[in-house]
Every structure is written in C-alpha cells, then in structure tokens.
C-alpha cells in the first residue's frame, strides 16, 4: 500500500536527485511521432533535461521534417528521425524508454473493438521489434483501448519470450490530470498542489477517482460533489471529441499527461524512484491488470497499488468496473490469436 508518509519521502528524494543530477546517457524513442499527440509530445520532450537523445519514428515521412524543425530549437536532447519498416529497429535500439503513441485516435462512432483491431497491427510490429532488438527497455503505451492493448502487448511479448511485467506500462496520467484540473476548479485552488489517486481502468465505465484519498488532507469535498466530478472525469474525453466534431481526440491534454509520465520515469534512470499512474500487471483487485499509483525504480515496477480506504460510492464503482476490466483484458489476449493466425496465413 502506498502511504501518505511514503509519498512525502519519495517527493523529497525526487527533489534531491533533481538538484544533484549528474550526466548520464538516456535515450527515449517515440513511436507514432508524426500524429497529433506525437508532435506535441516531441516538442515537450525537447525541453526534458534528463533525456540525452530523442528518437522519433513514424510511417509518415513528415517525421523527417519534424526532426529538422526540432533541431532548430536550441538546447535539449539530440533529435533523430526514422521512417519506414526497415528503420523501426534502429529507432528503438539502445533506448531506455520506448513510447508507443496512438495510431488510430478515438473517433465518434468507433467502438473499442474497432480501435483494438485498428491499432493492434502497429502494436504487434513494435512488440516484435522490441523482442528482437531491445527487450530490456521500458515499454509505455498510450494507444486506445488501453484496457485491451496492454494485455494484447503483454501476451505478444510472452509469445516472443520477451515479457517483463515490471517494464510494461499503459499510460493513464490523463485521468489524474483531468481529475486534478476539475477538482482544482471546484475548490478554487491551484490543481498542481492536489493529489488524487485514480484507479480501475481507462474507459468511461472503469475510471475511478478516489476523492476520499485527496491530498493535502485538509481539503474535503462532499459526497454529491465527488459523484458529479466522477461523471465529469469519465466523460471528459467524449466531450472533447464532440466539441471537435469528431475530427480529433484530446491531443493537447494527452500530450501534456504523457510528458508528465516521461518526466517522472526519466528520473529513475538517475537512481531515483517515482510514482506514476499506469495500467500494469496487478492481481490485487481481481484482475490481471489494473490502473493506479505505481512505484518505479531503475529496474522497473517494484510495487503496484493494492488497497485503499474507500467511500461506499467508490467501492460501488469498483465492483462495477472489475468485470468490465476483465472483459477488456480478455479481448486483448484473445486478439493475439486472431492477429498471429492472420500473419501466418
């Protein structure tokens, strides 16, 4: 269980390592760098002082223009770009962290099964490349539907004898970002001073903000406020999609939250340890995978969330979410057979 006291200790250690950074070669690869989210993530990562080298990969040749443009920004990591199947392996070779970003963004009318079928091929390609080229890398995925894609990728890596449950992450920082932003507005305070664990999965029916665990503890909201905020957090992505008339997903907020994840993870390569919100292998809630605060060191995940003191409403949400998460996980695992049989035809 991640306690409040431990959280404060980790925060202090993070400050120590940030102030005492010594040079170390750290390489990060972004797969899907030319899409809407990828472009914004690349720009944000250009400002990351922990990263030495940033590799950008996409099937779209426009990624080569991105490299030139980012090279014209002074400072930050050295940028390299790669495009085409033949250059996927070089793009991830020697990288400490490989980011897989959305290929087919969420669209109006698309079911999660359709998104899984569309994004699975790209995930399969990167899993095969990782297994052969760089099986020890941290592999972080932000590709819909997270609840199925993470189990799909994990099953593939198992088949390729390259699975390490401590090094695969489904990035769910967007859920904590939205929760903090909405709560800050409700309390009329700076949301960056707030911490709210968000557990469950990453879909409208499985996201569970734990407002009962709000920090700092002198802040409180009423039960009806918690219920209203939970509904708002769950439909945030759909609202953005509707306002963009179905032509684009929440690219800016997603990029910001992915960058927040990478900022934290990049610190572990300097000997620190951090807490990130991610959908990872976690059996403590009756599922194979579960999202929540996750402790990470240079060797990977060393502790996942296990239990929280929750309100009656939050317990109810959890009981509803678990069967849905298990269903989504099973769909991801079952799709491995579908896609592998298709490849062998």
Active-site positions? 202
Q: Is 168 exposed, middle or buried (0-12, 13-18, 19+ CB in 10 A)?
A: buried
Strand residues in 221-323 grouped as ranges (E)? 274-281, 289-297, 300-304
Q: Which positions ≥6 away from 266 have C-beta within 8 Å?
A: 26, 28, 48, 50, 51, 97
Q: In this structure, are residues 159 and 268 in contact, taking their beta carbons and an 8 Å threshold? A: no
Q: CB–CB of 1/292 below 8 Å?
A: no
CA 331 to CA 201: how far, in whole Å?
14
Spatial contact of 53 and 80, defined as CB atoms under 8 Å apart: yes
For the chain, what's the residue count?
345
What tokens does 161 get? 């004898």
């Amino acid at each position: 269980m991640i306690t409040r006291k431990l959280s404060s200790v980790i925060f202090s250690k993070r400050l120590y390592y940030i102030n005492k950074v010594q040079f170390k070669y750290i390489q990060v690869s972004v797969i899907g760098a030319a899409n809407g989210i990828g472009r914004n993530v690349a720009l944000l990562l250009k400002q990351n002082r922990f990263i030495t080298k940033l590799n950008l990969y996409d099937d779209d040749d426009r990624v080569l223009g991105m490299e030139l443009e980012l090279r014209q920004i002074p400072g930050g990591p050295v940028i390299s770009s790669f495009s085409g199947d033949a250059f996927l392996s070089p793009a991830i070779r020697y990288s400490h962290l490989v980011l897989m970003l959305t290929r087919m963004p969420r669209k109006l009318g698309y079911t999660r099964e359709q998104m899984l079928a569309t994004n699975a091929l790209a995930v399969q390609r990167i899993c095969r490349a990782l297994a052969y080229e760089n099986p020890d890398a941290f592999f972080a995925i932000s590709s819909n539907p997270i609840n199925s894609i993470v189990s799909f990728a994990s099953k593939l890596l198992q088949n390729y004898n390259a699975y390490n449950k401590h090094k695969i992450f489904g990035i769910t920082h967007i859920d904590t970002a939205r929760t903090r932003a909405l709560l800050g507005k409700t309390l009329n305070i700076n949301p960056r001073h707030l911490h709210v664990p968000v557990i469950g999965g990453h879909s409208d029916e499985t996201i569970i903000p734990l407002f009962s665990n709000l920090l700092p503890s002198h802040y409180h909201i009423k039960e009806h406020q918690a219920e209203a905020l939970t509904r708002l957090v769950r439909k945030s992505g759909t609202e953005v999609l509707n306002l963009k008339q179905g032509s684009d997903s929440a690219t800016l907020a997603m990029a910001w939250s992915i960058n927040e994840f990478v900022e934290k993870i990049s610190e572990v390569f300097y000997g620190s340890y951090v807490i990130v919100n991610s959908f990872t292998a976690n059996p403590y809630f009756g599922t194979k995978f579960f999202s929540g605060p996750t402790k990470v060191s240079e060797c990977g995940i060393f502790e996942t969330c296990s239990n929280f003191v929750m309100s009656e409403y939050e317990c109810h949400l959890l009981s509803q979410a678990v069967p849905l998460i298990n269903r989504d996980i099973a769909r991801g695992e079952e799709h491995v057979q579908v896609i592998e049989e298709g490849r062998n035809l």
